[in-house]
Amino acid sequence: MSYSIENSIKGKVCLITGGTKGIGKECARQMAKMGAKVIVIGRYEKGLNEVEEELKLSSPESVAIKADISSLAEIKEMFLQVKNRFGTVDVLVNNAGTNRRTKAIEVTEEEWDTIINLNVKGAFFCSQEAAKLMDPGKVNKIINISSQYGHVGSSNRSVYCTSKGAVELLTKSLAVEWAPHILVNAVAPTFIETELTKELFEDEKTRKNLLERIPLKRGGTVKDVVGAILYLASDLSNMTTGSSLLVDGGWTAGS
C-alpha cells in the first residue's frame, strides 16, 4: 500500500486563517501545490490579493477572503461566502494569532481582549462555523496553531500563555465532542524564524538565550511547522485526535 500526504490533500477544501504571511502563507502555498482548493483569510486586501494571485497559479479555484476573525460577525459572513462558493470545508487551520510581551502587572484590558479575542475566540468560532459545513460522512480535520507556551509558562507572556493554554484544552474538548468525523489537533511551535521574529534572532544575546533552551540548538523554520500541519491534514493522521504536536526542538522536554 502506498501512503502519500499529497494524494490525500489533493481536491480538499482547506481554509487557513492568517494566511497572508509566515506559517499560514507557506501552508497555503504547499496545499495549493498539492491540488487543494485553498481559502486564505486575512485582514489586509493587499496581502490577500498577492496571495490569491500566487495560489491560483497552482490551484485555480483557490481564493482569498478579507475577514477579522476576532469578530464573530465577520467570521459568520466569511463562512457564508465559503458555503456559497464551495459548500463545504474539509480542513481548517486556525493559524491567525497575536502576542504582546508585557509584564503581568502592566497588562491592560485592551491587550487582554486583543490577544484572547484573536487567539481563542477566533479559533473557537471558526471551528464552530467550519464544523457546520463539514461532511459527517467524511474524516475532516481542524488544526489549531498553538505554541510551546501553551505547555510552559514564561515571564512577560502571561496573556499569550493563557491564550495558548486555552487553545490546547479547546483542541482536546472539540476532539472528544466531534469525533469520529472531525479530528481536532494542535501544532505547538517554538520560536520560528520569520519576519515577525527577525529582530529577536538578530540580537545576539537574545538568540543565544533562546538557543540555550532548545536542545536542537536552532530556531524552528516555517517548513518545520508546515510539515506538521500537512501531516495532520492528511489521511496519514486519521487515528490522531486531541493531540498537540510539539515542534519545539525539545524545549518543553527539558523544561
Q: Which of 44, 149, 160, 231 is catalytic?
A: 160
Which H or E element spans position 221? none
Q: Judge whether 230 and 31 are in contact, CB under 8 Å.
A: yes
Burial class (CB in 10 A: 0-12, 13-18, 19+), 66: middle
Q: Judge whether 206 and 165 are in contact, CB under 8 Å.
A: no
> What backbone phi and psi angles, to 5 degrees, belong to 251?
-50, -55
Q: Put the strands of the sheet holding 244-247 in their side by side order.
A: 63-66, 37-42, 13-17, 91-94, 140-145, 182-189, 244-247
Nearest-angstrom CA–CA distance, 93 and 143: 5
Q: Judge whether 183 and 237 are in contact, CB under 8 Å.
A: yes
Residue 160 is among the residues annotated as catalytic for this protein: yes
Would you please indicate which residues are annotated as catalytic (active-site) residues? Answer: 160
